[in-house]
Structure 1
Amino acid sequence: MTRRRLAAGIVAAGMAAAALLTGCGGDDASSGPVTLKVLTWEPGGTEYWKQVKTSFEATHPDIKLDMQSVPFDKYPEVQGPYITSQSGPDVMANNAGLELFDRRGAYEPLGDKAAEINKDLVTYSGACEGFDTAKPCYGVPFSYQGNVLYYNKSILTAAGLDPEKPPATWTEFSAACDAVKKAGKTCLALGLSGTFPAYWDFPEIARSYLSEDDIRGLLAGTLSWKDPKLVAVLGKLAEITTKGWANSNAPSITMLPDGADIFQRGDAAFAGTIISDAVNWEAFGKALGDDKLGVTRWPAADPGAPLAQKFSGIEGAVYGVTKWSEKKQAGLEFITWLAGKENGELWVKHAKGQPLNKNVDKALLPSSPAFQKIQELVAEPTLHAGVMLSGPEADALARGWQQVSLGQLTVDKWAEQMQQALERSPTKKQGN
């Protein structure tokens, strides 16, 4: 089931501010606390969300949280019928960017509340149309997200490589993969089932070819997938599997948990995955040992490209209040609290993730070398190309990479399929 088919419809970008959340009523606490139904895939883990429920309810005795947790890979299947029927949860999560925009018909825009909520956040405006806070915003993020290349120092050492100098260029990465393979290990742990490549690997290669204007062209749908720059990006993605750098079963497994498990078991030298939410530096550090876990940028195809030494940054999951909810004010209170300092500190302590709130006590930040290295990398951010992709494009990117890996598709044909997916995207036709 594709993400486009799950969208319940697109609302006009010029929706009047008077219809926004500001001042909404409808919450009747006369018979006791309001019960707020929240749909989530529990980014950060079950323990973190237990702390969210306990802490929020302690300071908001008039609101009770009824959490419906769904595994991430099943989330669209559960959320889709709610959106179609315009009923169900009062608050729902979606990833920032066009995944959220594809489903914005399910959410109340925040109106002038958006600026108030976001004032203490590091933000890329990934909850706002066009990545522009002057346009409607549909929810609140609280985590900093993006992709890095984790590596196993022990495997690099065994392969005769310097674990303190991981490959920085595509040529160096190719040589490292050859050495790792000779040492009997997989170079890059990878799973291609699902749309994770769109969010993770694609933007890390795209930084060597695209300018920020090009990335915004992806968002607007004005950059053709037949443009030589995008064809080159697809070509580099293809090399990862066609040159045998990844595990041979990559087309048939997911990145989470399957690909990540390969890395955690010590069977692969590298894994490209995220800095927050699901499997991150903490899980890898526990499995391999903090002293054996390294973090770096993805190798640059063109080290001299303007964006090559930057970080593809974006907010993590965005929580918004549903249009059909009769408890909008309670929903607004909850998502506003999610963006606050208290929850930011819970996020650091229990999820070991990267908080967006700028007021989080720095003394609470983990001392892990991997976490500290991530702090260095995120200091040089640029736009995240992955979240500029519409649902049809993300699906075509993932499916095309699988087909290329299996020898069923050429890179040029892949580019044609991507262009066809772009042309099917009503979200981009609306001019985001």
Structure 2
Amino acid sequence: MFSYKPSHRTSVMAMLLASALLMQACGGANETAQSSNKETTGSSAKENAASPVKITFWHSMSGELGTVTDKLISDFNASQKNVQVEGIFQGTYDESLNKMKASMDSKSGPSLIQVYEIGSRYMIDSKAITPVQKFIDADKYDLSQLEENITQYYTIGGKLNSMPFNTSNPILYYNKDMFKAAGLDLEKPPVTFDEITKAAQALSKDGKAGASFAIYGWFMEQFFAKQGAEYVNNGNGRTAPATESYVNKEAGLKALTWWKSMVDNKTALNLGRKTDDTKKAFAAGQIAMMLDSTASLKGIVSTAEGKFQVGTAPLPKPADAAEGGVVVGGASLYITNNKSEAEQKGAWEFIKFLTSPQSQAYWHVNTGYFPITKKAYDEQIVKDNLVKYPQFKTAVDQLHGSKANTATQGAVMGVFPEARQIVEGAIEEALNGKKTPQAALDEAAKSITEKIGKYNQTVK
């Protein structure tokens, strides 16, 4: 992403939601009606002119991301007089979501909230949202203008529940100078597990390692999608709520066995769970290849400037993998249903502003996240940015090349944050030689399945 990205791996969010909170959240949904720009803030023009609707937007964008978010909010507020948005940084994704849970029995919560992708199942089960599909239908909003491979993640039960906001996927980064010194083809980077292994062997010399991959559950999820494999049962939790983890199936075993073999033969370093540690080693020229988010691209390229050239390649997969692709990461925007109809419509107007080609172009160029709107690529600043950062074409091609199916649509489960950390623990145990890959993944799958069962009991 650039110089900063919020971590997907924050503290584990609470698994169980009290029945009372669910009951209070139920029934809060307001029916939406046909809306227009002039009608979003009230029933009369007089009310609109006298008192604009105020929207509270909770987000987790800090640092440079927060600055860009504030600019978009300011531009929206200046563009019209009917709706005024107040953006409030609420900490990490987990912290923000926990604050929303605490506010569900009152009107003190947000009108609009940014939630990370692995919180999708919980947000639906909370009964605290009005799906954006209602506003899309009422407004006859053309969804085809958005990237299908992005909106499909947030489409559950045949409707779009939230609007994608910050979106990324993982790619392989490699040091072109080290590739050249090792006699490797700079323009034909490795794309399969075996090719990564061979390249790493050639690159591991003079005290430097061929690769390092942070112990990040998101990467395991992506390895499943690249193999066209589902991560949980019931159509990845989309045809019905998930009841069983598949992390110990063939796709997971192939990925972890390959990963461990590289660590064992010392062609890959195990630098632990922090992605920042891997990025620092890459920037220092200590490792030649790593995996990271597409949203980190600008920061990675800028840090390497003057030291070495950065190349990018798609996320690797087994040579015999079934047709698949990548799952989008990041977060989306949910409209809460315990606010007035006017507030909900106002939040929808703000969402439409954020999805415009101009807003998406500005967001992409200044953050590194994907534009979710296709026409954003026609904006001159996006074209100029792709010239400056040609490595980003890998990310765009990988997104567009992902075959649409339940594997690439992404898994959904109510305990996803916990599941991700459990998987990270399993990877850690396998790489450190405490358990075989199969034993580590078997235990992880059992634990995740048990937690899914307990969660499902709370939302029956």
TM range (shorter): 0.7 to 0.9
State the AA in 2 paired with 1:295.
Answer: T
Q: Distance in 1 between matches of 2:447 and 2:245?
A: 13
1:296 pairs with 281, 303, 313, which one? 313
The within-5 A match list for 1:288-367 is 288-289=304-305, 292-301=309-318, 303-307=319-323, 311-314=325-328, 316-326=330-340, 327-362=343-378, 363=380, 364-365=382-383, 366-367=386-387
Larger gyration radius, structure 1 or structure 2 = 2
Give the match for residue 217 of structure 2. 198
- SS of aligned partner of 1:39: strand
1:35 pairs with 54, 69, 74, which one? 54
Q: Distance in 2 between matches of 1:337 and 1:385?
A: 25
1:93 pairs with 88, 104, 114, which one? 114
Q: Distance in 2 between matches of 1:65 and 1:201?
A: 38
Q: Does 1:384 align with 2:408?
A: yes
TM-superposed deviation, 1:421 = 0.7
Unaligned segments of structure 2, at least 5 residues: 1-10
TM-superposed deviation, 1:47 = 3.7
2:299 pairs with 249, 259, 283, which one? 283
1:236 pairs with 258, 263, 266, which one? 258
Q: Which moved more, 1:115-124 or 1:354-363?
A: 115-124
State the AA in 2 paired with 1:121.
Answer: L
Give the match for residue 80 of structure 1. 98
- SS of aligned partner of 2:315: coil
1:412 pairs with 434, 438, 447, which one? 438
TM-superposed deviation, 1:206 = 5.0
TM-superposed deviation, 1:140 = 0.5
- Answer whether contact 1:110 1:139 (CA < 8 A) is retained: yes
- Answer whether contact 2:41 2:48 (CA < 8 A) is retained: no
Residues 256-313 of structure 1 show CA distances to partners (whole Å, capped at 9, x for unaligned) of: x33323323333212211223xx2x211221223981111123332x23332xx5314
Residues 47-71 of structure 1 show CA distances to partners (whole Å, capped at 9, x for unaligned) of: 4213212221121333333222355
Give the match for residue 134 of structure 2. 112
Residues 199-231 of structure 1 show CA distances to partners (whole Å, capped at 9, x for unaligned) of: 234323552373799893465446644434443
- SS of aligned partner of 1:112: helix
- Answer whether contact 1:145 1:315 (CA < 8 A) is retained: yes
Give the match for residue 167 of structure 1. 190
- Answer whether contact 1:188 1:268 (CA < 8 A) is retained: yes
1:369 pairs with 382, 386, 390, which one? 390
TM superposition score normalised by structure 2? 0.76
Decide whether aligned partners of structure 1 residues 227 and 170 sit closer, same or farther in structure 2, where only a CA change above 3 A counts. Answer: closer
Q: Does 1:227 align with 2:253?
A: no
Q: Does 1:146 align with 2:206?
A: no
- Answer whether contact 2:57 2:110 (CA < 8 A) is retained: yes
Identity %: 17
Q: Distance in 1 between matches of 2:251 and 2:368?
A: 36
TM-superposed deviation, 1:173 = 1.4
Q: Distance in 2 between matches of 1:236 and 1:11?
A: 43
- Answer whether contact 2:168 2:370 (CA < 8 A) is retained: yes
Decide whether aligned partners of structure 1 residues 41 and 211 sit closer, same or farther in structure 2, where only a CA change above 3 A counts. Answer: closer
Q: Which moved more, 1:26-35 or 1:101-110?
A: 26-35
- Answer whether contact 1:199 1:386 (CA < 8 A) is retained: no
TM superposition score normalised by structure 1? 0.80
Decide whether aligned partners of structure 1 residues 324 and 211 sit closer, same or farther in structure 2, where only a CA change above 3 A counts. Answer: closer
TM-superposed deviation, 1:152 = 1.3
State the AA in 2 paired with 1:109.
Answer: P
Q: Distance in 1 between matches of 2:88 and 2:135?
A: 26
Q: Distance in 1 between matches of 2:447 and 2:161?
A: 28
Q: Distance in 2 between matches of 1:203 and 1:398?
A: 13
Decide whether aligned partners of structure 1 residues 187 and 111 sit closer, same or farther in structure 2, where only a CA change above 3 A counts. Answer: same
Unaligned segments of structure 1, at least 5 residues: none
RMSD of the alignment, in Å? 3.7
TM-superposed deviation, 1:161 = 2.5
Q: Distance in 2 between matches of 1:319 and 1:151?
A: 33
Q: Distance in 1 between matches of 2:290 and 2:234?
A: 24
- Answer whether contact 1:209 1:233 (CA < 8 A) is retained: no
Decide whether aligned partners of structure 1 residues 228 and 167 sit closer, same or farther in structure 2, where only a CA change above 3 A counts. Answer: closer
1:63 pairs with 78, 83, 97, which one? 83
- SS of aligned partner of 2:375: coil
Q: Distance in 1 between matches of 2:228 and 2:375?
A: 35
Q: Which moved more, 1:18-27 or 1:114-123?
A: 18-27
State the AA in 2 paired with 1:182.
Answer: K
- Answer whether contact 2:245 2:448 (CA < 8 A) is retained: no
Give the match for residue 12 of structure 2. 2
- Answer whether contact 2:232 2:245 (CA < 8 A) is retained: no
Q: Distance in 1 between matches of 2:289 and 2:59?
A: 29
Q: Distance in 2 between matches of 1:70 and 1:261?
A: 28
State the AA in 1 paired with 2:99.
Answer: P
Q: Does 1:125 align with 2:152?
A: yes
Q: Distance in 1 between matches of 2:41 and 2:80?
A: 17
How many residue pairs match? The answer is 410
Residues 29-50 of structure 1 show CA distances to partners (whole Å, capped at 9, x for unaligned) of: 6764433222222287234213
